[in-house]
Amino acid sequence: MSRFVFAVCFALLLAACERAPTLPKLSPHDVIVAFGDSLTHGTGASETTAYPAVLASLTGHIVINAGVPGDTTSLGLQRLPAVLDEYKPRLVLLCLGGNDMLRKQPEASTENNLRLLVQTIRASGANVVLIGVPGPRLFGGAPDFYTRIADEMKLPLEREIFNEVLKDNRLKSDPIHANAAGYRQVAERLAAFLKEAGAL
């Protein structure tokens, strides 16, 4: 192999490594589960304006709202297997960690639990999109462990959307929850993200 051909192949390999992880295309009947806490449940809005319901209308897919207000990563680990068994999703949108931070749980414990959640989802045969949750400090953004997990486990990560929505008082129902307009923005952003990642 010539040096030029080797250089081109090496450059292409590097570009592939740097590209965001992609998802398999969903078939029309594939189920999406949105798994999380009150941000997924839609606290601050109605059931029909929570982001999973809006995402379902935008994509044409069944999107199960498996959000439980107050859920932590450890509680999520306990209920996840039953959710996976009941709905048999092809894709899980995982959005947890906010209540861990509010309750001042050790960051290492939250990170480890998120890894276990991802492993459990993958073991069921489903793919995972990780959604970052902003920390409780003002304009702190999502903690670095979301990026660390996404990089190491090769996960698509959307780490900014809730941070952006919860910075805008027009999109909030209270300091830590969106309103209907905020959840619509979340759903629109996730629909675009899934399309870019190849799922839609």
Cite the active site residues: 38, 174, 177
Nearest to 176 by CA among 70, 79, 80: 70
Neighbours of 70 (CB within 10 A): 13
Q: 59 to each of 73, 103, 150, how far by Cα in Å?
A: 27, 35, 24
**E strand segments, the chain:** 31-36, 62-67, 91-95, 127-131, 157-158, 172-174, 177-178
Crossing angle, helix 107-123 and helix 144-153, to 10 degrees?
A: 30
Neighbours of 84 (CB within 10 A): 20
User: What is the end-to-end Cα distance of the chain in Å, rounded?
Assistant: 39
Integer Cα distance of 116 and 124 in angstroms = 13
Burial of 6 (0-12, 13-18, 19+ CB in 10 A): exposed
